[in-house]
Amino acid sequence: MTGATTSLTYREASREALREALQRDERVFLMGEDVGRYGGCFAVSKGLLEEFGPERIRDTPLCESGFTGAGIGAALGGMRPIVEVMTVNFSLLAADQIMNTAATLLHMSGGQFNVPLVIRMSTGGGKQLAAQHSHSLEGWYAHIPGIKVLVPATIEDARGMLWPALQDPDPVLMFENATLYNSRGTLPAERPTVDIRTARVRRAGSDLTLISYSASLFKALAAAEQLADEGISCEVLDLRILRPLDEASILRSVAKTHRALIVDEGWRSGSIAAEVSARIMEGAFWELDAPVGRLCSAEVPMPYAHHLEQAALPQADRIAEAARALVKSHG
């Protein structure tokens, strides 16, 4: 029915994206730790083993380097593998496969071999999973040529980004913040069409641009709502793609508002926030009415204790405070 909508969680949207890909292309299969019988560490693949069988939903040993390498080999052999790494911290065990093999083969083969591989993983803090399961390292991977880095925050992007990622001839990494899996939203009954090239303005504004991605996007939106009550109009830009960055959308928004605050769950040193800030300074310096601001996670291993973890992460009230200071001190 035209206009019909469906209510679902981010987890369910991700599962529907997997189901659709498996239905649409027989070359697609999912592999990773606990993706089959257990249903996925975050229950994203629950029920898919029963629906598609063990040939296409493959449980793997606890060896990220081994099964990521197997995924690369399958992609080279004509398949369309989706490799799930439980958390971004564990992806470091497969960093050699991702950086030295998947990202470089097209270049090193003189354009002969593409690697059409999608790697999914959870990222971010806020679930009290401690330092070895809670960091935001997607900015590290955004440093590497030869791959795309997607950070879906909304239900729509969780549902719609996987299929175009599978159509890409080169490796695509998808980072899903673990705090988003229970979030709920609505989608049109028909499958959403989502591009994996451009950032998206989630709230229009005129006084300051809040630039963020993933779970921090919603904290930026909450801060913008709070600041609106004070007469400060914030534009909220969801980066969505960290490599390649949609520089044009960033500069266009800053040229409109003349101020920018970047909210990034990664550490401040060498961060995505640093890269975005540099690009604004290079491309929109004369548009700025104030220095570019950055709000990132505390530069510590992520704490386990809830109050310390929350203190380490960017929060809406701190975003509002930083934005307020940026506008009022440079009004």
Contact by Cβ (8 Å): 173, 223 = no
Give residue for tokens 């679930």. Answer: 127
Catalytic residue among 12, 16, 33, 133: 133
All residues at 6 or more sequence positions from 28 whose CB lies less than 8 Å from its CB, including other chains: 21, 22, 56, 79, 80, 81, 82, 166
Cα–Cα distance measured from residue 123 to residue 291, given in angstroms and rounded to the nearest whole number: 29
Q: What percent helix, strand, coil does the chain show, rounded to 5?
A: 40, 20, 40
Instruction: Copy the structure tokens of residue 268.
Output: 């401040």
30: how many CB neighbours lie within 10 A of its CB?
Answer: 26
Catalytic residue among 16, 33, 64, 84: 64
Cis before 188? omega within 30? no
Please confirm, yes or no, whether 133 is among the known catalytic residues: yes
Give the bridge partners for 115, in sequence order. none
All residues at 6 or more sequence positions from 109 whose CB lies less than 8 Å from its CB, including other chains: none
What's the Cα-to-Cα distance from 203 to each of 145, 211, 223, rounded to whole Å?
31, 11, 11
Please confirm, yes or no, whether 190 is among the known catalytic residues: no
Cα–Cα distance measured from residue 221 to residue 227, given in angstroms and rounded to the nearest whole number: 10
Instruction: Copy the structure tokens of residue 18.
Output: 């997997």
Phi (first) and psi of residue 171, to 5 degrees? -60, 140
Contact by Cβ (8 Å): 52, 22 = yes
Phi (first) and psi of residue 240, to 5 degrees? 65, -40
The residues carrying an active-site annotation are 64, 133
